[in-house]
Amino acid sequence: MTVRLNKDALAHARQLLRDGDVVRDVRDDWSEHAPSTDDENAFIDEHGMDEFARWHLGEDTDETEGTKGRCKFPYGDFRKLHRCAVISGESRAGQYDHATIEKALRDLLDEMDAER
């Protein structure tokens, strides 16, 4: 699996942070706050795959373009940046040796926490 940083998604996440569109929750909340499969599909139907991809910091280049499987490391619920998603993603990126994504998520978390 080759996962690369989605720079457009990172810029989008930082813009959400600047705009204050943030949920300052804790790590374990992501299991409850993450969009369901039905939510994801409805979002794609309404906004398209490009917009869906902007909510994921990773892109698996081994997966077919234009599919959900290509999108990795979600950071929000299609409305707001979630601290719990960033924490969860950072941990998972480190676990699977995606150093660039891990660093981007760590930096994003540091930026979120600095604004408190």
Helix (H, G, I), strand (E, B) or coil at 111: helix
The Cα 60–Cα 112 span in angstroms is: 26
Which one, of 29, 12, 8, 38, lies nearest residue 85 by Cα?
Answer: 29
Helix (H, G, I), strand (E, B) or coil at 63: coil
Q: Please tell me the predicted confidence (pLDDT) of residue 116.
A: 66
pLDDT in tens, 4-19: 999 999 999 999 999 9
Whether the CB-CB separation of 73 and 4 falls below 8 Å is answered with no
Question: What's the predicted TM-score (pTM) here?
Answer: 0.94
Q: What is the DSSP letter of 57?
A: E
